[in-house]
Structure 1
Amino acid sequence: MKKYLKLLRVEQWVKNLFVFLPVFFSGKILELDLFGKSCMAFMVFSLTASCIYIINDYMDLEQDKKHPQKCYRPLASGAITKKTAILIGLFIGLLIGGCMLYISIANGMKIQRFNSAILAYFILNLFYTFKLKHVPIIDIFIISIGFVLRVLSGGFITGIGVSQWATLLTFLLALVLAIGKRRGELINENINGQTRKALGGYNVQFADIALSISCTLAIVCYVMFTLSPEVQYKFHPRVFYTVIFVVFAFLRYLQQTLVYNKTESPTKIIYKDHYIQVILLLWLVAFLLQIYFKE
């Protein structure tokens, strides 16, 4: 069972928690109907991402065999055969189609924008898998757009609008993580040789500058988000003070990236870095108090 979970990259599903942001920030996460729809969006996005991962591993099989870490992936190591991977991918594809059909029928065919977001994510990542992941700059932009589609899909399925500041903030946050990962791969490349074609368009100095710019823009965007009239009206004005947690989180991420070179995979931070875990928990609690106990 472990090898199949590894093939699906279940540990990467944490990224799809972004679909819950619209219902969380709207203060309606306790409404079971909307929460259930968000859970459905999470599952559909997770299955879609897993399907893409299978296609990616199938296409990169020979390269992964030569990679110091990727050689342990189920397909590259031979733990799962190519035929089995194809059958699993087809089954997941059918499951995704069934879920999208159910969502459309259950909502009276009024939720086509959600299905369009899923389809856009799938097609965009197919282009990424077959070609665009080898094109510097474009590769990290596609990753960032994928996170935006996650948030938008959470809004589409629940009927909750996503503000421009929230959309831009999501894009910039994802850009920070993508650049940090590329920087980690550059460090790894210096040790083990080239592992990704797109790395030819990056170097550590460029990654450091791009990461600093993106972090700065993300912090400024978050400040503007907390100061926007709609947020100030919806929550208590003291929501602005959650900026403290955000700045700390970005500084910790920069420390991990620039000092310790530990960010080849951004999800590892969420699972292993206790500082980031605590600060995210404090930020979450602070927002919960502003949203649900603002009186």
Structure 2
Amino acid sequence: MDARVEDTAIALAVDLDGTLISGDLLWECVFLLVRANPLYALMLPVWLLSGKARFKHEVFSRVEIDPACLGYRPEVIAFLEEEKRKGRTIVLATASAQDKANQIARHLGLFDRVVGSTVDRNLKSDAKRARLLADHGDAGFDYVGNSRDDVAIFEAARRAYVVAPDRDARNWADAHGGAILFDHGQTSLSDLARMLRVHQWAKNVLIAVPAVLAHTIFAPVTMLQLAGAFFAFSFLASAVYIFNDLFDLSMDRAHPTKRHRPLAAGRIDPPTAIKVAFGLISFSVLLALMLPWEFGVVLGLYFVVTSAYSLKIKRWLLLDVLTLAGLYTVRIIAGMAAVSAEPSYWLLAFSVFFFLSLALVKRYVELDKATISEKQRLTGRGYRPEDKEVIAQAGMASGFSAIVVLALYLDSAAVYSLYDQPWMIWPICPLVLYLIMRIWILARRGEFNDDPVVFIATDWRSQIMIAFGAALMFGAGMVEFNAL
């Protein structure tokens, strides 16, 4: 019997999670469930105590999936299509729920049979091996898998195909000559940095603003406090970004640029991402414990609000941009708490208007680049194309309001008490106006693609304006700086 005939007589069983799709359907459904109703997070440990099979049933039975939005591996799909043309029997064998596996099978149209988990049976590892042996006999099937749980099935299969393997599956393949269909290699530092969105840490330099304005930035103790606060916020923010990406996996996969993010693209699996997120939270808490307790309170508030934003608020019209403006302002409040600085209501008022303008420009750009018709909402947002002009007007008005607040502050008693030559800092008003208007002009031209705060922190023209403003403040307050 030649190899072709032999192959067609042998069933080909395919795992789902990490193999046919790059993600894990159970984890995706857990996050969909919690996003729909955060109170379900309290029920997850209760269900888990009843066993994994029951846990899966409770989660899967409450979530609807769109099979078209899963992260299928194109190499595996192409391989299955070729084997299907040869006349092979293709079996989807998964530890995910039977009904969800049936939906995926109907969508792809590749599988002759589907076996999955039920309310009283978790079809994983040894249980899956037993089922396949019962259906096909010893070495009566080939198997495509990816993880440690698949090693027992590899041992029973006639031939093993190893896809994007974890460490155990890779070691087995190396020892037994398993054919690797697709191997994206180990997670790289670049993948990790992109998942953490390290470039977004630039936003957290706002923590230093109160110390700069109070002229205490160069004190050694203050610099240490600000460094600790910066990394505490950065670590926590990255953890929130990870959870946000997990909640939005299906939407990110349909997005023209977000689909390249490590989680959406399957470069990093959800369990690894969750471990990293909790590690970052732990480091953030440790740093917060070294700072004044008020900073810890602000950090906790930031975590609660950002989590609420990721779960619900970012889908609500206008409340999303107001929350974003508030979160930027919270960073400034955290800076005050970290160095025990007196609160400045001028600074907070300016911050709210300034960052509201930047939040609105972010929504404007999203609407401008969206390919949707009128009356249709932007995916995951509360906005429609006809809102674009109102957003632009509100954003510009908010930016000018920030300038008004700044101008009033520069003529206040606080400025005269802090600066020896207060008239020197008046040019800051047109400098800030330049920053705001330039961002909006670029946005209206369709030439703005970045987070506005990150843009300001990295754009060389904006950096020149900021440096010029800092020089003016330093010159105007020379007496106070020299007295440190």
Contact between 1:182 and 1:264, CA under 8 Å: does it hold in 2? no
Deviations 1:50-99 (A, max 9, x none): 11101100110111011001001110011110011011011111112222
User: Cα–Cα, structure 1 residues 246 and 293, in superposed 2: closer, same or farther, change >3 Å?
Assistant: farther
* 2:422 is the counterpart of 1:237: yes
* 2:366 is the counterpart of 1:180: no
* 2:351 is the counterpart of 1:165: no
Contact between 1:183 and 1:207, CA under 8 Å: does it hold in 2? yes
Contact between 2:233 and 2:299, CA under 8 Å: does it hold in 1? yes
Deviation (angstroms), 1:28: 1.1
CA distance in 1, matches of 2:335, 2:478: 20
**1:135-154 matches, cutoff 5 A:** 135-154=316-335
Contact between 2:439 and 2:452, CA under 8 Å: does it hold in 1? no
Q: What is the aligned partner in structure 2 of residue 292 from structure 1?
A: 478
Please identify the structure whose Cα radius of gyration is greater: 2
Deviation (angstroms), 1:241: 2.8
User: Given the two structures, how large is their TM-score scaled by the length of structure 1?
Assistant: 0.91
Q: What is the aligned partner in structure 2 of residue 106 from structure 1?
A: none
Bigger shift: 175-184 or 155-164?
155-164
User: Given the two structures, how large is their TM-score scaled by the length of structure 2?
Assistant: 0.57
Deviations 1:188-239 (A, max 9, x none): 1137994332224972111111112101101101111211111122112212
Structure 1's unaligned 5+ residue stretches are 104-110
Structure 2's unaligned 5+ residue stretches are 1-188
Match of 2:461 among 270, 275, 288: 275
SS at match of 2:264: helix
Bigger shift: 156-165 or 120-129?
156-165
User: Cα–Cα, structure 1 residues 293 and 243, in superposed 2: closer, same or farther, change >3 Å?
Assistant: farther
SS at match of 1:253: helix
Contact between 1:29 and 1:35, CA under 8 Å: does it hold in 2? yes
User: Cα–Cα, structure 1 residues 133 and 83, in superposed 2: closer, same or farther, change >3 Å?
Assistant: same
Q: How many equivalent pairs are there? A: 288
Give identity over the alignment, percent.
24
Q: What is the aligned partner in structure 2 of residue 15 from structure 1?
A: 203
CA distance in 2, matches of 1:202, 1:275: 32
CA distance in 2, matches of 1:12, 1:97: 20
* 2:275 is the counterpart of 1:87: yes
* 2:349 is the counterpart of 1:131: no
Which structure would you say has the larger RCO, counting Cα contacts within 8 Å and 6 or more residues apart? 1
More helix by share: 1
Deviation (angstroms), 1:250: 2.1
Deviations 1:87-121 (A, max 9, x none): 10111111122222233xxxxxxx22111100000
Contact between 1:23 and 1:35, CA under 8 Å: does it hold in 2? no
**1:1-295 matches, cutoff 5 A:** 1-103=189-291, 111-190=292-371, 194-200=378-384, 203-235=387-419, 236-238=421-423, 239-263=425-449, 265-267=451-453, 269-270=455-456, 273-292=459-478
CA distance in 2, matches of 1:168, 1:267: 18
SS at match of 1:175: helix
Q: What is the aligned partner in structure 1 of residue 175 from structure 2?
A: none
Deviation (angstroms), 1:160: 0.9
Deviation (angstroms), 1:268: 5.1
Contact between 1:180 and 1:264, CA under 8 Å: does it hold in 2? no
CA distance in 2, matches of 1:70, 1:221: 36
CA distance in 1, matches of 2:219, 2:289: 23
CA distance in 2, matches of 1:41, 1:268: 19
More strand by share: 2
